[in-house]
Structure 1
Amino acid sequence: MSVREIAPQETTRASAFELWMKAPNPMVTFFKTYDVMPLINKSRSTGMKFNMLLDYCIGKAASTIKEFYTLPVSDKLMRYDKIAVNTIVKNKENEVSSCDIAYTDDLERFNADYLQYTAQVRDTCSDHDLSEEYMVIGTSAIVETEIDGAVGMYSGIFNNPFMIWGRYRIEGYKALLPVSFQFHHTQMDGAHAGAFLRNLEEEIS
């Protein structure tokens, strides 16, 4: 079974579950700026899309942190075996659709899946949602402009971690990209989020 309900009191998130599940706004947002020039160079040398490479790095950085495999859903705590990364696609009607890509450590496979499913979403204008067996990390790239950061809206429905970024800006030999990372405090603490952001920096490098 890839997803199952777990008893919060039997996990390291027991106290967080009690503290944050009924909080009016249990979401926390961190901001960090990355030098993404290594991804730009990789994109230019291989023809792989920059956004795909960043999504892959996000999945790889999250895959080694156990808190990403647990997520509060409604009033339950769920444990997952698999992670996916969601990307927003501009479809042929010039609107936006949602596309989930299952994370795999194999970059070539992840790239192939990314190209296949984003093209499918673009052409059909229909979301590509993986089954509920995946803990999905949401992402949104605001490519029309540079942004310094963004705070997502807490709906009380989707508790998934979420990342937002805009255009990178060139400063000397660096390409600086501010990224926001929003997460539910029941899922992880600041230390876990910090470890993820550090891992992401290493994967980008």
Structure 2
Amino acid sequence: MQEVNPKETTRDYAFEMWMKAPMPMVTIIKTLDVTHLQNISRKRGLKFNMLMCWCIGRAASRIKEFYMLSVGDKLIKYDSIAVNTIVAKSRGEVSSCDIPFSDDFSLFNDNYINLTRRVAETCENHDITDSMVIGTSALAQYDIDGAVGMYSGIFNNPFFIWGRYRRLWFKTRLTVSFQFHHTQMDGAHAARFLDLLQKEITQAY
């Protein structure tokens, strides 16, 4: 990771326009067809949440805007991506766990299982500070239509929220909320990312 001069990037105008905006976050809500992931999860005994996180990482890794993020008053360029998941702790609360993204599905799955287990057992967060982290929060036990994340003014990372998936006839659908900082990307980049995410979900594993 390294600090870059915004004027030497394609985010120059966005950095100037949105860095000091009181609310620079944008949220897009989209319903995805996750039939394929749900089938893989059931037949192969894989965690649905892990599959979603891997597909998110796969889609994000193909869009260059995901490798830059405004941190404080600086624009930082990263060499790698991680996907964050929220882990239920033994005490009934939650901790945060960053999973390094890898195109190698087996490696990502192993990291997901081992790191989330460690976080659950130790009740300590696992943070990766040298990767651009995509946050996720799966409210899988609840039926929600959408969610808008808060803007803390500290973390500008992109963030996903989803609830319980829904079965309708032969399809399984999942509504996701994707929040991003306007300095990092524009609406067109985010929409393209969500289209890529749907393709990754359909073709996964």
Same fold (TM over 0.5): yes
SS of the counterpart of 1:180?
A: strand
Q: Does 1:198 align with 2:198?
A: no
Corresponding residue for 1:75?
A: 73
Letter matched to residue 54 of structure 2: Y
Task: Give the counterpart of 1:114 among 112, 115, 118.
Answer: 112
Deviation of 1:176 (Å): 1.2
4+ residue runs over 6 A deviation: none
SS of the residue corresponding to residue 81 of structure 2 reads strand
Give aligned-pair identity as a percent. 62
Q: Distance in 2 between matches of 1:146 and 1:117?
A: 27
Tell me the residue number matched to 2:127.
129
Considering only aligned residues, what root-mean-square deviation do their CA atoms show, in Å? 0.6
In structure 1, C-alpha distance between the alignment counterparts of 2:143 and 2:4, rounded to whole Å: 41
The whole-number CA distance in structure 2 between the counterparts of 1:106 and 1:48 is: 15
Query: Of 167, 174, 178, which residue of structure 2 is paired with 1:177?
Result: 174
Q: More deviation in 70-79 or 140-149?
A: 140-149
Describe the superposition over 1:173-193 as per-residue Cα deviations: whole angstroms up to 9, x where unpaired.
111110000000000001110
Q: Report the equivalent of 2:150.
A: 153
* 1:45 to partner: Cα distance: 1.9
What is the CA-CA distance between 1:144 and the residue it aligns to? 2.3
Paired with 1:144 and 1:37, the residues of 2 have a C-alpha distance of 18
Residue 165 of structure 1: how far off its partner (Å): 0.1
2:37: which partner in 1?
39
Equivalence for 1:15 = 13
- Correspondent of 2:22 among 24, 27, 31: 24
Structure 2 unaligned spans of 5+: none
**Letter paired with 1:168:** Y
> How far did 1:146 drift?
1.1
* Residue of structure 2 in register with 1:49 after alignment: 47
- Tell me how far 1:143 sits from its aligned partner: 1.7
Determine helix, strand or coil for the equivalent of 1:30.
strand
- Supply the distance in 2 between the matched residues of 1:144 and 1:203 (Cα, whole angstroms): 24
- Shifted more, 42-51 versus 61-70: the winner is 42-51
Q: Could you list the runs of 5+ residues in structure 1 that have no partner in the other structure?
A: none
Q: What is the TM-score with the length of structure 2 in the denominator? A: 0.97
TM value normalised by structure 1: 0.97
Shift of 1:54: 0.4
Give CA-to-partner distance per residue, 1:141-179, whole Å, 9 cap, x none.
012211111000001000000000000011111111100
Among 149, 153, 164, the residue aligned to 1:167: 164
Which residue of structure 1 lines up, in the alignment, with residue 139 of structure 2?
A: 142
Distance 1:129 1:93 in 2: 20
